[in-house]
Amino acid sequence: MSLQRTKLSTAVRKAAGEASSDQLEAINRLALAELAAEQVYVRTAYLGHNGIDRDREVLDDGLLDDFARTLPGKGLHLRHPGGWNGDSGPGIGRWFEARVVEMSLDEARAALREPGLQFPPGTERAKLLEASSYLPRSGKNADLILDIDAGVAGDQSLGFTASDRTAIQNPAGDTIAYRLLGPGEALEASLVWLGAQPGARFHKGAPRPTAEDHEMSEEQMKALQKKADDAEARAKALQPKADGFDAIAKAVGDGLAADPDALKAAVSAGQAAHDELVNDIVSSERLAGMVTGDDEASTKNAKALYADWSMDRLKAYAERVKKLVPAGGTIAGGDPNATAAGGGPRPKQDGQKSAFNPTENPLVTG
């Protein structure tokens, strides 16, 4: 099933309206009589792009290529012939060439005079459908040509078909627009009051980028490649830190991860509870005869074995090792954070989990 759509997309570069020799040759391939340069009025326009338009739709890159291939030879109309107020009569001119040009997103916004133009997530380069049309310099077109040069008549809209569409989602998973897909065909382009795509108008646009504009010397290419390699190396070096923070945020919750002071307190309390449990284990092992040395070095080495153990693993092992302690030897593990300075229980704040209570600290209970 085809999607019939009407899209505005034009921004015509200012010129005298005179045809170049190459343009005149292309025009005469369509004309039935040989035309001279002074007999035709030429304008070049941007008729489509891959930005998000006013209908929340995006022309796919492949669909733009289809339009560039199928537009030459189609009519330029005052109104869409397929519209409610259009007619099926001949147009006022004809499109004789079309191409897709590529530029940066900011270059496209400047060319279209639309600084707020948005592109779908992940779009790195703008693709614009650029096309040229001609009108006969006849008496009936004189006023229209004057209006075009004055910027009064300028907005254009592209009539076309497309084959399908697919949803475009933002990183949060919300549908923000729909991408129109090919195969498709450009049927015509018309002067209108306003179309769907931002930047659809005749304008004094900057010159179209050429291949020469993007050529680089070998030294420039090597320097650019080095910058890219350095950036990739830095990104790889930082990835473990980013992964670590993501793991912490997942473990403690977004609220605690976003509060540095609370996170610091939770980390301190978690470490204290971890150390206390390790102390209990080492003491139990000593009473059970599993640790023979009582000097500082032996104790440090024994504790180091459990430095990277999780709380769940420590708790399970502590229960097992306590069962090995001979009768009469006991280790009473306690909460080192259960008392406030000067003695007495540490008060708990109402309405929130206390980072100082190991039983309610996500860094401890996990």
DSSP 104-172: -HHHHHHHHT-TT----TT--SEEEEEEEEEEE--GGGHHHHHHHHTTSS--EEEEEEESEEEEEE-TT
- Kindly state the average pLDDT of the residues 38-47: 92
Mean per-residue pLDDT over the chain, rounded: 78
205 and 253 assigned to the same domain: no
- Kindly state the average pLDDT of the residues 14-27: 83
187 and 257 assigned to the same domain: no
At residue 179, does pLDDT exceed 50? yes
How is residue 192 annotated by DSSP?
A: -
77 and 195 assigned to the same domain: yes
Domain boundary among 153, 187, 209: 209
Of 114-118, 230-234, 356-360, which one has max mean pLDDT? 114-118
Give 248: exposed, middle or buried? Use CB within 10 Å, 0-12, 13-18, 19+: middle
At residue 39, does pLDDT exceed 50? yes
Q: Is residue 231 part of a domain?
A: no
194 and 262 assigned to the same domain: no
302 and 156 assigned to the same domain: no
pLDDT value of residue 75: 92
Domain boundary among 209, 231, 264: 209
Q: What is the pTM (predicted TM-score) of this model?
A: 0.53
Q: Is residue 113 part of a domain?
A: yes
Return the closest-CA partner of residue 253 out of 172, 338, 355: 355
* The residue type at 74: K
pLDDT value of residue 44: 87
Contacts of 209 (CB under 8 A, 6+ apart): 101, 102, 103, 107
143 and 287 assigned to the same domain: no
Task: Please state, in angstroms and rounded to a whole number, the distance separating the CA atoms of residues 181 and 196.
Answer: 17
> CA 52, 53, 54, 55 torsion: positive or negative?
negative
205 and 250 assigned to the same domain: no
What is the residue range of 336's domain? 245-365
How is residue 15 annotated by DSSP?
A: -
- Kindly state the average pLDDT of the residues 51-64: 96
50 and 96 assigned to the same domain: yes
Q: Is residue 264 part of a domain?
A: yes
205 and 258 assigned to the same domain: no
Number of domains in the chain: 2
Peptide bond into 183 cis (omega under 30): yes
Q: Is residue 219 part of a domain?
A: no
Which tens digit of pLDDT belongs to each residue from 64-122? 999 999 999 999 988 777 665 556 668 889 999 999 999 999 999 999 989 999 999 99
Helix (H, G, I), strand (E, B) or coil at 189: strand
Q: Is residue 347 part of a domain?
A: yes
pLDDT value of residue 256: 60
Q: To 10 degrees, what angle do helices 260-287 and 218-252 make?
A: 70
249 and 164 assigned to the same domain: no
- Kindly state the average pLDDT of the residues 236-242: 78
- Kindly state the average pLDDT of the residues 292-320: 80
Q: Which residue would you say has higher pLDDT here, 99 or 209?
A: 99
pLDDT value of residue 132: 92
113 and 62 assigned to the same domain: yes
153 and 20 assigned to the same domain: yes
Q: Is residue 226 part of a domain?
A: no
